[in-house]
Structure 1
Amino acid sequence: MKNLKIALSLLILISVTSCDDFLSEKPDNRTEIDTPAKISELLVQAYPQMSYFDIAETMSDNVFDSGMPETLRKNEQSYNWDIQTETTDIDTQAYYWDACYTAIAHANKALEAIEDLGSPASLNPQKGEALIARAYSHFMLVSLWSKRYNPATAASDLGIPYVTKPETELVTKYKRNTVKEVFDFIEKDIEDGLKIVTNDYKQPKFHFNVSASKAFASRFYLIKGDWDRVLELTSDLGSKPVGKLRDFASYDLLSAVDQRLAYASSDAETNLLIVSANSIVSRSYYSNRFYLSGARYPDIFGTATSLFNKPWLYNFYSSNSSITVFLPKFYEYFKYSNVTAGIGDPYVAEVLLSNDEFFLNRIEAHVMKGNIATANDELEYFLSTRTVGYVPTDKLTEAKVVAKYPVIADEYTPFYTMTPVQTSYVKAIAETRRRDFIHEGMRWFDVKRFNIVVNHETTNKPVNTLVKDDNRRAIQIPLHASNTGVELNPR
């Protein structure tokens, strides 16, 4: 771990102008979206412009009580799986909920405009992007605000409202679909979109290009347990995607600031979908008491946690006497609305989909199909790119995986059954994913789908335990949404 003190550079974010104004207008006053150019412009905003990273990460077992004297209220509330009472701040549950439905509104308006123009084949790329984008935002909503997907209960579990038409009233009341209905809608949008989505963009990594669409689809089908579809979607990666995974070794030659920039760069081969989020996630390591603490980070990143018993390539830093530590992933740009007054908005480029996750999804699908030898070889390749001093003689074996990740009764309990060997490999993959996506909230989704128990300790307070099937695994519906008729989650 390296010590670091950085003054955040406040740079003006050069942003793309969009057709966003129509959302703030009464329906009758909205600008007509009546040309292919306007539709494409509208779709720039069909992605959540807020971040879920801090929300999800803080609920997971990646964070601890660092002992920092103060913290943000939203950080403490997420740590205790409480509804966040702040509704006018970025990086909050309410803001991300709104960001997803705002993105959905843009996608729906684009789809309506395409239909109004007669749905010509020339607009298929925009239609494909709109469908995948709509599916993605709904998927994130149901993943955070509903119970985990379980086909045995999905038809009765509360999902979220799946919105497929532009709003025709200034305030529209929605009812929640079931989880099954939401997943069925998502699947239809994904499959329809995959048929026509393209790479024909000036900046393809800021759109649902073909690879990003497949990567998202693989995440969806992994949650659903459709291993054949995951393998089909990931077939282009092969068993050794040389040059397509993140090159953590190259980061060691960069300063922390340059590592932040490199992580979300559109030049990085692994990055498939990037969004500019209105977020202060780059400041979390010094503002959040409940974070990856300096005292506990060896529990996750110590040499003993490696299947090769060698150090990890991840390059950690600290700027507060090692109270908390961070991996440089987020670079903040500041867009001034008034330079003299120092007023503006912070933005962070966030990687929403990558080849790293895409490949791990493939490995897990191989495990669940019983292709243990193939999964073993692919996992070894992935870990070789994350290990200091890896040499070809550092062979990964089933015996090593089982020894490092033994089966513990009722620890991992997905809705499907797993053999003991499958359980050990799935744990190994989940732990690999946990490290690779530290600070990005990915661990929370594994906590939910595997029903992992989480203990959150706070100094001078009883341990707060998130037990299996705890209702708090589904975030409570934001107050402003429940006030307009969206049914609350049980507590």
Structure 2
Amino acid sequence: LVQRLDFAPGPTNDIYDDIFDSNPFGGIDERENPSYQKGENGGFPARYESLFERSSLNSNVGTPYHIGIMFRGEEVLLNRAEALAEKNRITEAMADLQTLANKRYSGASTITINDLRTFFGLGGFGNVSNRAVVIEWLIRERRREFFVQGMRWFDIKRFDIAVEHTLEDGSTIELEDDDLRKVLQIPKSAIDVGGLTSNPR
């Protein structure tokens, strides 16, 4: 399943470094360099061929775009790992995450739940469930695997993740984990015609 996508500015280098900075495998994340070109302040995803549609036959202006893969095998694997973790089938969820890691990290070791607990600094915290540890790693893997592909927003909503953006002037905007601004608004035309009530904001 593919879709035509417009190009948009990429995230800053700080965000990029935070995402790919460390992992519990001790190997190099092979997704990092080939898929992203860093500039002075930010970056650009270079996964797919850059295409260009001219405004007219004789025009030198138009719209850059690329063809993105919308449903990949990696998403199926991560969706299954998430479902298994939610059902507390930790060994099976870890096996799916290991399958992905073997293809993504050069020199990846076999990871255990204790390795993940140590990586997150939870070695002595028995009150944090193995399920929660696996879900946290899965969220991070999804962020790496689907970097700048439009998937993060769904994870932010599904897992109630708080988000903070730093603006150019240094001020910040924060969405709390249960922030009402995460809820999509019903179009005014649907409210007017259908008598629907708008979502709280």
Q: TM-score range by the shorter chain?
A: 0.7 to 0.9
After superposition, the Cα gap between the structure-2 partners of 1:406 and 1:441, relative to the gap in structure 1 and judged at 3 Å, is: farther
8 Å CA contact 1:366–1:375 kept in 2: the answer is yes
- Which residue is 1:453 aligned to? 162
After superposition, the Cα gap between the structure-2 partners of 1:335 and 1:327, relative to the gap in structure 1 and judged at 3 Å, is: closer
Tell me the distance in 1 between the aligned counterparts of 2:53 and 2:45.
24
Gaps of 5+ in 1: 1-272, 408-418
- Which residue is 2:26 aligned to? 309
- Give SS of 1:350's match: strand
8 Å CA contact 1:294–1:324 kept in 2: the answer is yes
Tell me the distance in 2 between the aligned counterparts of 1:476 and 1:339.
39
- Which residue is 1:300 aligned to? 19
After superposition, the Cα gap between the structure-2 partners of 1:343 and 1:487, relative to the gap in structure 1 and judged at 3 Å, is: farther
- The root-mean-square deviation of aligned C-alpha atoms, in Å, is 2.6
8 Å CA contact 1:406–1:424 kept in 2: the answer is no
After superposition, the Cα gap between the structure-2 partners of 1:487 and 1:334, relative to the gap in structure 1 and judged at 3 Å, is: farther
TM-aligned CA deviation for residue 406 of structure 1: 5.4
- Which residue is 2:119 aligned to? 404
Tell me the distance in 1 between the aligned counterparts of 2:25 and 2:90.
18
8 Å CA contact 1:405–1:427 kept in 2: the answer is no
- Which residue is 1:21 aligned to? none
Tell me the distance in 2 between the aligned counterparts of 1:311 and 1:475.
38
Tell me the distance in 2 between the aligned counterparts of 1:340 and 1:436.
39
Tell me the distance in 1 between the aligned counterparts of 2:38 and 2:58.
28
- Which residue is 1:488 aligned to? 198
- Which residue is 2:173 aligned to? 464
8 Å CA contact 1:451–1:469 kept in 2: the answer is yes
Establish whether residue 438 from structure 1 lines up as the match of residue 156 from structure 2.
Answer: no
Percent same amino acid at aligned positions? 28
Tell me the distance in 2 between the aligned counterparts of 1:374 and 1:292.
34
- Give SS of 1:306's match: coil
Tell me the distance in 2 between the aligned counterparts of 1:330 and 1:484.
42
8 Å CA contact 2:30–2:106 kept in 1: the answer is yes
8 Å CA contact 1:313–1:386 kept in 2: the answer is yes
Deviations 1:321-351 (A, max 9, x none): 3x11233224332334522133655442121
After superposition, the Cα gap between the structure-2 partners of 1:487 and 1:440, relative to the gap in structure 1 and judged at 3 Å, is: farther
After superposition, the Cα gap between the structure-2 partners of 1:443 and 1:332, relative to the gap in structure 1 and judged at 3 Å, is: same
Gaps of 5+ in 2: 123-127
- Which residue is 1:342 aligned to? 60
Tell me the distance in 2 between the aligned counterparts of 1:460 and 1:343.
32
Establish whether residue 274 from structure 1 lines up as the match of residue 2 from structure 2.
Answer: yes
AA in 2 matched with 1:470: D
8 Å CA contact 1:367–1:422 kept in 2: the answer is yes
Alignment of 1:17-36 (within 5 A): none
Tell me the distance in 1 between the aligned counterparts of 2:53 and 2:43.
27
Question: How many pairs does the alignment contain?
Answer: 193
TM-aligned CA deviation for residue 369 of structure 1: 2.4
TM-aligned CA deviation for residue 401 of structure 1: 1.3
AA in 2 matched with 1:389: G
- Give SS of 1:399's match: helix
- Give SS of 1:378's match: helix
AA in 2 matched with 1:489: N
- Give SS of 1:318's match: strand
TM-aligned CA deviation for residue 452 of structure 1: 1.1
TM-aligned CA deviation for residue 454 of structure 1: 1.1
TM-score (norm 2): 0.82
Structure that is richer in strand per residue: 2
Tell me the distance in 1 between the aligned counterparts of 2:65 and 2:53.
7
8 Å CA contact 2:37–2:46 kept in 1: the answer is no
AA in 2 matched with 1:318: Q
After superposition, the Cα gap between the structure-2 partners of 1:317 and 1:373, relative to the gap in structure 1 and judged at 3 Å, is: closer
Larger-gyration structure (1/2):
1
Tell me the distance in 2 between the aligned counterparts of 1:364 and 1:461.
36
Tell me the distance in 2 between the aligned counterparts of 1:487 and 1:319.
45
Deviations 1:328-377 (A, max 9, x none): 22433233452213365544212111110001111122222222222222
- Give SS of 2:84's match: helix
Q: Residue 130 of structure 2: which of 421, 426, 429 is its match?
A: 421
AA in 1 matched with 2:2: I
- Give SS of 2:164's match: strand
Deviations 1:260-305 (A, max 9, x none): xxxxxxxxxxxxx112x2x422xx2xxx3xx421233221101xx2
- Which residue is 1:353 aligned to? 71
TM-aligned CA deviation for residue 378 of structure 1: 2.3
AA in 2 matched with 1:297: Y
Establish whether residue 320 from structure 1 lines up as the match of residue 52 from structure 2.
Answer: no
- Give SS of 2:68's match: strand
AA in 2 matched with 1:442: M
Tell me the distance in 2 between the aligned counterparts of 1:477 and 1:405.
39
Q: Residue 474 of structure 1: which of 183, 188, 196 is its match?
A: 183
Tell me the distance in 1 between the aligned counterparts of 2:160 and 2:52.
39
Report which structure shows greater RCO (CA 8 Å, sep ≥6). 1
Deviations 1:53-98 (A, max 9, x none): xxxxxxxxxxxxxxxxxxxxxxxxxxxxxxxxxxxxxxxxxxxxxx
